[in-house]
Structure 1
């Protein structure tokens, strides 16, 4: 079968690899000049096998008035008179009660475990170089109340077979000695020793090269998809703005927030809203953390990626294509410097990033045939967990496509 995969971020590249390995003739398409230029270019780098918590949660509901009032620097919501946005927002609110939140979180954790196993199988097959390592992760809780609330969640996850441990600050400092000089409040920590990390953009480049060489994937970069053609009411070709159409038997849209540009053919686009995040990557220096850290109060994620140190954070729900906001980036840098002074001051060679993470109201991605055109599929809406869920999502997509043909 001739299949076009539209979008060459982690989800798209993983999907192209999985489909090609199964014997399909795959063309990987992206508007950028190379893979991994979107959210994959600056994400938090953490492969969070045990942290698939849905964003819409009872905890977020409790803090929602402060977020709406602008009192939480980690979040920003800009309301729009847009029917799709308003419906999405109402559905997001409906997913906040504990029962719905845990159902969503459990489903995401199952997909994360599938991803972990698929990535292990891939790395056994392909010699990919993307600074991958099992670094473990520490979630840092600022006060006794928040740390106490973490205990029941750890027990829930243990019942799912996940390895998480409650640590005192002293025990957390034994795992990561940098915490002895950490300037943020730490009442306790949750340690997940099996969580990993890796450079998602490098993964995209490496896996694309491997899929081309081993399985004959064709690349079509610098090409902007403009729509689709049908024959007898079934998908027959992908249309472009500046080149001839590409004849296909099926197509998969994995194009992150750009899924909304194809809304005329893709009703699932209405279920996705962009959540903008920011990151700053600097040179790793002695004394910086090697274990991944998540500061629960400030919603900051720290990861040592090879010889680099990255901090990522912020969640801005606003209009699509809002672009890089220097004031919001300054908030990220200031918060990072407040807890790890000296590491994130302005320096030559630093990499600043901002991008949109497409998210559904439940935080569960859409992996399904599109309701718009027979032969069109969706693998998107992963929010902040695209890197974690990419390989498992690709496997599920392959299973669905195989069952449809």
Structure 2
């Protein structure tokens, strides 16, 4: 079967790889001229196998008045009179109660487990250079109450077979000595030794090159998809803005937030909203952390990726295509400089990035056939965990098409 995969970020490239491994002929399509240039370009880099916590949660619900009033610099919500946005917002709030949150989180953790298994198989099979390493991760909690509140979730995850440990600040400093000079409050930490990291953009490039060399996948970069054509009630071709249609037997849409440009053909896209985030990458310097860090209070994620050090954060629920907001990036940079001034204050060069992460109300990706067009499938809505869940969702998609 000839399958067109629309979107060449981590989810699209992973989907193309597993579909080709299953014996399909695959064409990988993207509006950019190379893979990994969208939300995968400079994300947090963390492969959070044990952190699948859904965004809609009781804690976020309690904090919602401060977010809407713009009193929390890490979150920004721009309310708008848009039917899809309002519908998404109501469904998001419906997923915030504790029972729904844990149901969603458990489902995400199971998908992350499958993704981790696929990553191990891929690394055993192929020599890919994307700065992958098992770095471990520390979630830093600012006070005793927030640390205590994390304990029940840690116990639940341990019962699922995940290795998470509650540490004091002194114990966390043994794991990561750079915390001794960390300028933020740390009452304690949750340590996940098996979490990994890597360069998602390099992963996209390397895996795409491998698939093309093996003649398993062809590429169509610089092509913007505008719709689909049907024959006898089933998908027949993918239509582009500026070239001839591509005949296919099936299509998989993994186009992140750009999936919303196809809402006329894909009603599933209406249940996905973009959440913008930002990152800053500087050279890694001696004494900077090597273990991945997440500052729970400031909503910052730090990762040492090869010879680079990156901070990523902020969650801005804004209109699609809002683009880079200098004032929001300034908040990220100022906050990162405040806690790790030696890392970000004197950098000789810096890479600024922003991207839109596609989020469903439950934070669990949509992996399903389209309700409108036979032969079209959706694999989108991974939110902040796209890098973590990419291979697992690709495996489920391949099983679905089989």
Q: Partner of 1:297: helix, strand, or coil? A: coil
Contact 1:333 1:345 in 2 (8 A): no
- Residues 271-325 of structure 1 show CA distances to partners (whole Å, capped at 9, x for unaligned) of 0000000000000000100000000000000000000000000000010000000
Question: Aligned residue for 2:164?
Answer: 164
Name the CA distance, whole Å, in 2 between partners of 1:396 and 1:176: 36
Task: Find the counterpart in structure 1 of residue 324 from structure 2.
Answer: 324
Aligned residues: CA RMSD: 0.7
Alpha-carbon distance between aligned partners in 1 of 2:347 and 2:245, rounded to the nearest angstrom: 46
Could you say which residue in structure 1 is the equivalent of 2:280?
Answer: 280
Structure 1 contact 6–255 (Cα < 8 Å) conserved: yes
Runs of 4+ more than 2 Å apart: 345-349
Q: Which residue of 1 is the match for residue 199 of structure 2?
A: 199
Q: Gapped runs of 5+ residues in structure 1? A: none
Q: Distance in 1 between matches of 2:61 and 2:374?
A: 38
Name the counterpart of 2:132: 132
> Is 1:389 equivalent to 2:389 in the alignment?
yes
Alignment deviations for residues 5-58 of structure 1 (CA, whole Å, 9 cap, x no partner): 000000000000100111111000000010000010011000000000000000
Aligned pairs for 1:339-378 (under 5 A) are: 339-345=339-345, 347-378=347-378
Deviates more, 1:211-220 or 1:80-89: 211-220
User: 1:213 Cα shift?
Assistant: 1.4
Deviations 1:137-184 (A, max 9, x none): 000000000000011110000011000000000000000000000000
5+ long unaligned stretches in structure 2: none
The residue aligned with 1:68 is 68
Is residue 49 of structure 1 aligned with residue 49 of structure 2? yes
Q: For the residues of structure 1 that align with 2:234 and 2:380, how far apart are their CA atoms? A: 21
Task: Say if 1:266 and 1:370, in contact at 8 Å, map to a contact too.
Answer: yes
Q: Is the 8 A contact 2:283 2:347 kept in 1?
A: no
Match of 1:118 in 2: 118
Q: State the shift of 1:88 in Å.
A: 0.2
1:107 matched to 2:107? The reply is yes
Show the counterpart of 1:188: 188
- In structure 2, the partner of 1:4 is 4
Match of 1:400 in 2: 400
Q: Which secondary structure state, in structure 2, belongs to the residue aligned with residue 237 of structure 1?
A: strand
How far apart are residue 342 of structure 1 and its match? 2.8
- 1:80 is matched with 80
Describe the superposition over 1:206-242 as per-residue Cα deviations: whole angstroms up to 9, x where unpaired.
0001111124200100000010000011100000010
- Separation in structure 2 between the aligned mates of residue 393 and residue 90 of structure 1, nearest angstrom: 26
Contact (CA 8 Å) 1:21, 1:215: kept in 2 or not? no
CA distance in 2, matches of 1:50, 1:13: 23
Task: Give, in whole Å, the separation in 2 of the partners of 1:347 and 1:353.
Answer: 16
Q: How many residues align?
A: 402
Residue 257 of structure 2 is aligned to residue 257 of structure 1:
yes
Hey, what does 2:38 align to over in structure 1? 38
Q: Which moved more, 1:344-353 or 1:379-388?
A: 344-353
SS at match of 1:343: helix
TM-score by length of 1: 0.99
1:20–1:215 contact (8 Å) kept in structure 2: no
For 1:120 and 1:361, the matched residues in 2 are separated by: 30
CA contact (8 A) 1:211 1:217 kept: yes
Structure 2 CA distance for aligned equivalents of residues 157 and 227 of structure 1 = 42
C-alpha separation in 2, matches of 1:247 and 1:8: 19
Q: CA deviation at 1:345?
A: 2.8
Report if the CA contact (8 A) 1:280-1:353 is conserved. yes
Q: Quote the Cα distance in structure 1 between the aligned partners of 2:271 and 2:361.
A: 7
TM-score relative to the length of structure 2: 0.99
**Contact 1:9/1:40 (8 A) holds in 2:** yes
